[in-house]
Structure 1
């Protein structure tokens, strides 16, 4: 949506603008700050709209207004406008006066709803949908399986909700709105990309399986990939619309055993490995590598990279020719790497979804 051509009355009626004025979040603060930096000529208009909305809020915060109260509010608003004369204000003042009563009642309802429900991003997104949605709510204590019309499946966790189009298969793209936690297994269809809208994040896939955690009160949103490839970007990204309409995956690209954590207050995305990386479906750990003797560390690392689909970064000249004798059983990836590092007097850490190993080398 382009706000540049908005007049004051347009701002007064816009749900996203009202949500910012009445219940600001880090996301809305960032959006309107960037908007004013880009279009400073709109600052007076936005300030006027803010002032009017806040004055209305003060009047109706305690009780729903009757006709007399509405008339009093109109008089107060007109008095406020008379103190700030100008061509812009005079142009829209007549229109505002005729619509003010409806607007005030609308804002009153909006504020009461905000107080009662603490309106979530999920509710705002679904309310703005142009198509009829079906909603599934898991109010039980167990997982709930949902099969979408395209045979994609959603394992919905407790205290979570999803919404999707009633005519899901007829749309040019498959869209799902999530509040809470869910595991998705998406049927591959390159002609119809699959989108999940969860708080500030948009996850785009063509066909894969992944987990999303996006509870309303959490400070982070998480997307973790099990199979395939997904792209993740925020709704505030400058290229968000372009990324959605493109046939290619853009944004932060995730592959199996990778995840992103979106820090909501900092508006920052971190790319990591999942807590417990699993052997990818296409890889099989060769039997000889479960137990090895005097094997080059470079060969062991190469095997682990292929088996788990990850990148292991190290100085091959210093560490690659180190020989190691050990055996693996049921250890997870990090336990395996820790065993190797102890054997060659090295250490490891996970940085940007890569395992980085450092050491002095073998003597």
Structure 2
């Protein structure tokens, strides 16, 4: 794959099958995303190739030729004005002259070019901060865990906090939290349940924003290739502000309470606070089991409690069914990280009940309930 370092034309990318799979099917086995983000000039060329590849694969449409011609002429007029500034979209103009595209392809390219053209010319790239930049700014030795699977993975931190890391996501964190703060770095999406420690606040750095908590549960969605960063609070309270790496932001710290969210528009440095997440379809549609299930239990069989935890965290719990079949529990496990939930359950059962975590596998050892 080192040959791609020498790519200088869009045609080079279009002829690469690995690049095509990445754009069309989000199959990034060759690490195209990280390779692209290493160089701003390279990222622009890759974006042009992506637009072209998407346009080439659109099905036919019934729009009239007059509508298409008018739309394209409007776009070309904007591009011609920027030709003397060597705008990168000129390469796409040349490609249009070189290749024949169908009607729908032309329409899609018009829409994509219009959006990309505006963003490239009027929104400063210096505002965009990526996961790699945040890691480079951090001087501590960090452990990085990447979820390349198709289901969420549970991560337990040294302070007892837990993170449900979604597919195509990364989390960097220290093996042991030292000093007066706990800091982690996220790329992608994760559901956090933070162990309470008022003297040692917890910070999640995700692209351009920093989320500060003491003990609560919340979800952060911060993919490098998406225009927004979202923070959704389930329990407790969080405070969100812009990263110190952003020099132009004038936004103040924003407080979020349960069932509230924040959508940060990355290129415009704008915070949109959502006071009721049930009114936002995008937020509610993306909720996971862990956000929908209740952890309030009143005289509930232990087996049912374990089943609820399995569904919430997408894990497997092995326990002595016969020994615990008559055990019931009344407890509240809301706002508790997974390790704390398991500790409370084991302590309530008694008789030297204990648990062991191995990735997404939990093993319960017990001689029965008290």
Tell me if TM exceeds 0.5: no
Based on CA coordinates, which of the two structures has the bigger radius of gyration? 1
Task: Give the alignment's TM-score, normalised by structure 2.
Answer: 0.40
Task: Give the alignment's TM-score, normalised by structure 1.
Answer: 0.40
Q: Which has the higher contact order (CA 8 A, sep 6+)?
A: 2
